[in-house]
Structure 1
């Protein structure tokens, strides 16, 4: 794997939407180990505004994406998954390390192409699943993974992003409206369950009201889990909870902090992988596995 001297890692940002503005750009610009090398956006006015806000260079257009790659050691992505995947494969092919958003893609072929490109180029990669990097929840996951005897788990991530009158700017996201909670919050839940209970050996999926998807999972540890995912629930139904039960008793996922802090930890993880050559457990190969599971769930649920 390519390694770099102990100087700031030049990271370019692809995307100018709410996630880029609210989380990724602020985290990258304030990180002491990073030089924000530029921002690429499809719309010049959005790229110019975000770049100006963080004192960096704006790029746009087909030539601009290549120029951003040339000015960077790594690329962070804040674009829809099926736009992310081909651009990430292209970035990896040029030797750029990858800081990917979840899901890597919404097709197995798309995610596999990114994983293949990263492997062939030997670049480091991290997939940003918030719960794997938030200080409170990452520590809890590690603690539970170190224990044995888990019997079952229950996970619910129920949101009202599409409820009438919502004011969230993320509600305007076309890919979230098309793919629903399964693809948007499903990666978060799986990124908690798999490190603790093991990979999924059997999956059953069914559709509920609105975009709700129910999963029943069997894991390599022998434990089972049930999962409910939704973004289109009524406001009164909203809640997120992950609970483990087993020989150790009951363990409940703690609340976590802000997304900027979580993303900063993901940047730390990428820098560590770049410096040491050690792959992170939540790398593009794990991202590919998440896509495989979600695609199978989508197929079964007839979405």
Structure 2
């Protein structure tokens, strides 16, 4: 599968480009970026072509991987899908429900495959745990604490404008939802949403399976307090999401495997664009409650 990369920032350099360049099932065919000089620099590192015209890239490849802010990703994903390109997307799918819905409509109209990269869903230990807990179906409550220190530590993402604008809700909120939804069921409603320190937010969710969950999300936690905890309590006792021993590159390569499989078989992956849209809808509902106080 010939695949192109959209984006040249830190995430494209850390995860996308090395994973695409080293994947045996992919031909890393080109790079497009909003800064042509950065696209050329990244393309040269991997011996591929830099494109000035994104539509020309779409015409030359079978798929695209996108490492761009959500407000930029969504409209480009629509154009790529309409051009017949399979989509390997990042979370969140879009910055608005309307934009996310446009991606889903384009994907379904064109018949292309789509995978949204929610990291934990492509790491072997967490994914195995998620599948096991989803089969239990006896959960009473869930608790997710996804605390990052992006803005209080030496992070390559500290200068990210969209993260500064949208905060933890939209950056790490998708990760928490990607773990909780397959286990506890869809969210029937956002029961409560409140601001915490800095960009920290607290959510209470009512799930279709009958359980409730609480989420604490932050990008501004003190470095010593940063970390991830997901806890489930139910009839079978208490269980915690295991830490993964795998690097992001391995997880992203698995996401590429998933895209190849979905494109070959025509079977949607659980983390497809439609799932990405559902996550976007929940985030937008929570954001509306936060904005309303």
Query: What's the TM-score once normalised by structure 1's chain length?
Result: 0.94
Residue 247 of structure 1 and its aligned partner are, at CA, apart by: 1.2
Of the candidates 8, 12, 21, which is equivalent to residue 13 of structure 2?
Answer: 21
Runs (4 or more) in structure 1 with deviation over 3 Å come to none
The residue number in structure 1 matching 2:49 is 57
Alignment partner of 1:215: what SS?
A: strand
1:178 paired with 2:162, answer no
Aligned partners of 1:98 and 1:70: how far apart in 2?
14
In the alignment, the residues of structure 1 paired with residue 144 and residue 289 of structure 2 have an alpha-carbon distance, to the nearest angstrom, of: 19
Equivalence for 2:218? 230
Out of 156, 178, 194, the position equivalent to 1:191 is 178
Match of 1:158 in 2: 147
Distance in 1, Cα, partners of 2:111 & 2:23: 24
How far does residue 195 in structure 1 lie from its aligned partner after superposition? 0.3
Q: Tell me how far 1:205 sits from its aligned partner.
A: 1.1
Q: Is the 2:137–2:184 Cα contact (8 Å) retained in structure 1?
A: no
How big is the alpha-carbon RMSD for the aligned residues of Structure 1 and Structure 2? Answer: 1.0
In the other structure, the counterpart of 1:105 is 94
8 Å Cα contact 1:102/1:127 also seen in 2: yes
1:211 aligned partner: 199
Residue 24 (structure 1) shift: 0.6
Displacement of 1:143 after TM fit? 1.1
The one-character-per-residue Cα deviations of 1:132-155 (angstroms, maximum 9, x if unpaired) are 111111111111111121111110
Aligned 1:260-275 pairs, distance under 5 A = 260-275=249-264
Match of residue 2 from structure 2:
10
The number of residue pairs the alignment matches comes to: 290
Structure 1: segments with no counterpart, 5+ residues: 1-8
* Structure 2, unaligned runs of 5 or more: none
* TM-score of the two chains, using structure 2 as the length reference: 0.97
Asked if structure 1 preserves the Cα contact closer than 8 Å seen for 2:137 and 2:183, the reply is no
Contact 1:129 1:187 in 2 (8 A): yes
- Look up the SS of the partner of 2:194 in the other structure: strand
Deviations 1:101-144 (A, max 9, x none): 00011101110111111111111100000011111111111111
Distance in 1, matches of 2:93 and 2:174, equals 10
Shift of 1:75: 0.8
Is contact 1:207-1:302 (8 Å) kept?
no
Report which stretch shifted further, 142-151 or 78-87: 142-151
Number of the residue aligned with 1:120: 109
